[in-house]
Amino acid sequence: MGTDAEQHELDRGALMPIGRVVELVRRDHPTVTPSSLRFLEREGLLVPTRTPGGHRLYSEADVQRILQIKEWQAHRLSLTDIKQRLLDRDSLPDPTALTRSFLDQVFNGSVEAAGQTILAADDLGVPLHTLFGDVIEPALIEIGRGWQHGTVLVAQEKTVSELARDIIAELSLRHAAPDPQGPVVVAACVAGERHELGLRMIVGLLRADGYQVRYLGADVETGILLDAVRLHPPAAVLLSAPLGADAAPLEETIAALVRERGPSGLPHIIAGGRMAIRDPQRVSALGAIPVNGGGLRVVTQKVMRLLASNPIGGH
Ligand code: B12
């Protein structure tokens, strides 16, 4: 769980000197030194840019690459295997092409092969937020468009969304790194909301970032959510709320949380989903923080920032 300043540094694509990179990588791999980075470079695994004066500068992609190499080394992969994996990864299609090949396989080939396409990209170290935000989310949006225009049957749409659900579940488990001291988050789609894949992916990214998430799934009645809140007092509750004239499920859920915890003991209540996109004012008026816009990656960053500022059990 990095600081805001670090995230900002990575977000704006700043190039970093070797000392800064060592500092960042050491958080997960304490034995890293400037000379071990220079070794990776001599082995041809890494090519930092150079200032006119010859100093090495590393991009965010370089840092991610180093983290990946270190992880593979921790799993005792040989340098030869690591080189091969990096070569395979470098020759992977970009996320847009991966989305295309995933959908082509679902429609014209086998569902299992489509799933393996994404899992293989994960094996090669494509970041989870890329697989979720740049591959799976666009695939689902495209399916929705096809369904709306009558070119995709409901049966096809369901096949893709069920497959996406399986993949998201598998990747979330692979990457979960819960910090036992870290904050607990309860997440659910309110009653009536069956679109759960967006929240499921956010949950996966939070788990990978150390959060302990109790995820309850789609269409969750208020009483069930309250039981989860009693069992695992959360620092935040994430709710997905549908669009529609009826705001009652969200309103009822928030009112029940207020009764349960009292206004001063309330966790952050963060609401996303269609209602937060179309009518954020209404979400605020109901007592939740609306989070919307910019796609999965941006939405998850916004949630993480809110969680980091949480007054209850924050970190
Ligand atoms: C798969 C799907 C379904 C599946 C859902 C399966 C599942 N397990 O989730 C099923 C078959 C159940 C379904 C049903 C329906 N669907 Co549907 N569905 C989709 C589809 C194709 C993909 C949804 C998806 O996962 N998208 C990808 C995720 C990542 O995006 P997302 O859900 O919008 O989430 C984003 C944000 O909202 C946010 N977010 C979501 N939850 C949360 C929670 C928090 C806390 C935060 C911070 C953020 C957040 O995170 C994401 C960031 O980008 C979309 C098409 C589309 N454009 O999305 C249609 C779509 C959403 N469905 C639609 C419709 C109309 C329906 C039905 C009414 C159809 C019907 N007549 O029965 C029902 C309603 C069911 C219900 N009661 O909820 C419309 C909605 C139109 C609108 N006005 O908003 C869409 C847009 C299709 C279309 N093009 O018209 N659907």
CA of 216 relative to ligand 1 center, distance in Å? 17
Average pLDDT over residues 87-98: 91
* Cα separation, 236 vs 24, whole angstroms: 28
Nearest atom within ligand 1 for CA of residue 240 = 43
What is the per-residue pLDDT for 314? Answer: 37
Nearest atom within ligand 1 for CA of residue 302 = 47
Tokens read off for 279: 């009518």
CA of 195 relative to ligand 1 center, distance in Å? 4
Residue 155 gets the label, from left (phi > 0), alpha (psi -120 to 50) or beta, of alpha
* Cα separation, 59 vs 94, whole angstroms: 18
The sign of the CA dihedral 206, 207, 209, 212 is positive
pLDDT digits (tens, 9 = 90+) for 226-259: 999 999 999 999 999 987 667 889 999 999 999 9
Amino acid, res. 286: L
Percent of the chain with pLDDT over 70: 93
- In the structure, which protein residues have their CB atom closer than 6 angstroms to any atom of ligand 1? 137, 140-141, 143-145, 147-148, 157-158, 161, 165, 192-199, 201-202, 218, 238-240, 242-243, 270-274, 277, 291, 295-296, 299, 303
| Substitution candidate for ligand 1 out of 186, 195, 201, 246 with most atoms within 8 A of CB | 195
pTM comes to 0.89
What is the per-residue pLDDT for 246? Answer: 74
All structural domains of the chain? 4-90 (1.10.1660.10), 95-175 (1.10.1240.10), 184-308 (3.40.50.280)
Amino acid, res. 308: A
| Selection from 38, 1, 45 nearest residue 21 by Cα | 38
pLDDT digits (tens, 9 = 90+) for 254-278: 999 999 888 778 889 999 998 898 8
What is the per-residue pLDDT for 315? Answer: 33
94-100-102 Cα angle (round to 5): 100
When pLDDT is cut at 50, 70 and 90, the band that residue 312 belongs to is: very low
What lies within 8 Å, CB to CB, of 172 at 6+ separation is: 200, 203, 204, 207, 208
